[in-house]
Amino acid sequence: MQKREGKAIVWLRNDLRATDHAGLYYASQKHQHVYAYYAFDPQQWQTTPWGFTKTGAHRTQFLLETIAQLQHDLAQLNISLIIEQKAPQEGIAAWVAQLGITHLYFQEEWTQEEQQVETELRENLGNTITYQSHYDQFLYHPNDVPVSPEDIPEVFTVFRKKCEKMAKVRPCFAAPTKLDPTNLLDKKFSIPTLLDFGFAPLTQHPHSAFPFKGGHRAGRDRMEHYFWDTEKLSYYKQTRNGLLGIDYSAKLSTWLANGSLSAREIYWEVKEYEAQVEKNQSTYWLIFELIWRDYFKYISLKHGNKIFQQGGILQRDYSWKNSPKLLNKWIEGQTHEPFVNANMIELKKTGWMSNRGRQNVASYFAKNLLMDWRMGAAYFESQLVDYDVHSNYGNWLYVSGVGNDPRDRKFNVRLQAERYDEGGKYQRLWNQNTLFE
């Protein structure tokens, strides 16, 4: 394709990769000069009303590693990554003026904070440039899902069956076109450190179930290990409810969360594994989990700000508590339930918690302590390295009785501990390691 005139900026949000990337692909095809932009928006490191930082140290560290890898990968394409610690609606506007930008590419987002940033950016830029946005975070593209967003079913199984029957996963985008070296800016932008965000350097916990780095390369390495080197993918369905070790689950959610891997990349890698190794319930189950991830995105697209409201998408009027004391005991792993405590201590020390643990601690918070579920969701947002706004709030709605669980279940934490931590090894490990810093 012959390149057109004009200069482009690709505004990176939660799509922090150089592969299978709509914006980078189209921009590099259509423009002689392409720049990438990422802002560490100070808004994301503010203190919440409950006293903890909106983005905690573990998630920040993973993000810093991701940006370092992305800067390297883009440099191989002769694309400069502009990195700033400021509001993107201000930073991008300044660079558009300085570089004479004519086109802005970005991933479409629809939740409240992201929409506000985009609105302010458009107000700052006006009609001086051309905007091109893409829904690039789904497994099933919105144009391919067999129902409109407003008609998304309220039960996951109905959504899944419709998609599996009628929708297709699109192929990955080809690699962006490598540009002429003259496209690079003279300046290489530095990446902040944890200290710049007010955090002390982190020491990796020796018992962490997630001892991995951020960035596309690390995500590919993890997939290579879990799929091809060990063939653990063949046993995923049997082991996914584990609590100890690095291989009880694929643990790809963290790279998915900030977009350093795409859902399409993982899907097509599973399909390749099924062709070359085997196809079984476990290989299907990883795709099943990707569809769950899509579902929560479509639920937030359908319901908008209801996913952040106390009554949830059902608008139920429960009597929730708002006790700082109970919140702190839950955060510090000082409840009456050792299984809850162990999971909360693991989260605080490592930024990771198993799926089984998340369901139990969230259910305990909302349905045993009767605490406002939004406080728990905000703490997860701060701590989890794989925080994704749609999955996090969708799951909290689900377990709190104000979301998409048609049975409104309550977890029996002690029975869950007996079933999934028989002998109590996990609980002993974390409840006895509270002194490690």
CATH number, domain at 349? 1.10.579.10
Same domain for 143 and 159?
yes
Containing structural domain, residue 166: 137-171+215-303
Closest CA to 429 of 421, 211, 351: 421
Mean pLDDT within 382-386: 98
Last residue of a domain, one of 136, 159, 186: 136
Residues 279 and 377 in one domain: no
Does residue 204 lie within any of the structural domains?
no
Pairwise CA distance, residues 41 & 64, whole Å: 13
> Buried (b) or exposed (e) across 119-138, using 16+ Cβ within 10 A?
eebeeebeeebeebebebbb
Mean pLDDT along residues 315-335? 94
Q: Domain boundary at 244, 274, 303, which?
A: 303
Mean pLDDT of 329-335: 97
pLDDT at 432: 80
Residue 106 lies in a domain: yes
Tokens 């573990």 correspond to what residue? 58
Residue 434 has pLDDT above 70, yes or no: no
User: Same domain, yes or no, for 146 and 262?
Assistant: yes
Residue 372 inside a domain? The answer is yes
- Per-residue pLDDT at 433: 52
Residue 384: inside a domain: yes
**Which tens digit of pLDDT belongs to each residue from 12-58?**
999 999 999 999 999 999 999 999 999 999 999 999 999 999 999 99
Say whether pLDDT at 273 is over 50: yes
Residue 182 lies in a domain: no
Please report the pLDDT score of residue 161 as a whole number: 98
pLDDT in tens, 80-114: 999 999 999 999 999 999 999 999 999 999 999 99
* Residue pair 268/143 in contact by the 8 Å Cβ criterion: no
CATH code for the domain of 298 = 1.25.40.80
Q: Which of 247, 275, 303 is the last residue of a domain?
A: 303
Residue 324 covered by a domain: yes
**In a shared domain, residues 340 and 294:** no
pLDDT of 436 > 50? The answer is no
Mean pLDDT value across the chain: 95
Q: Closest by alpha carbon to 380, among 358, 360, 408, 363?
A: 358
CATH number at residue 12: 3.40.50.620
Order of strands, sheet of 81-84, starting from the edge strand that comes earlier in the sequence: 81-84, 31-39, 4-11, 103-107, 130-134
Residue 210 domain-assigned? no
Q: Domain check: are 11 and 92 in the same one?
A: yes
Query: Do 61 and 150 reside in the same domain of the chain?
Result: no
- Asked if 288 and 152 sit in the same domain, the reply is yes
What pLDDT is recorded for position 406? Answer: 75
Structural domains in the chain (count): 3
Query: Does any domain span residue 183?
Result: no
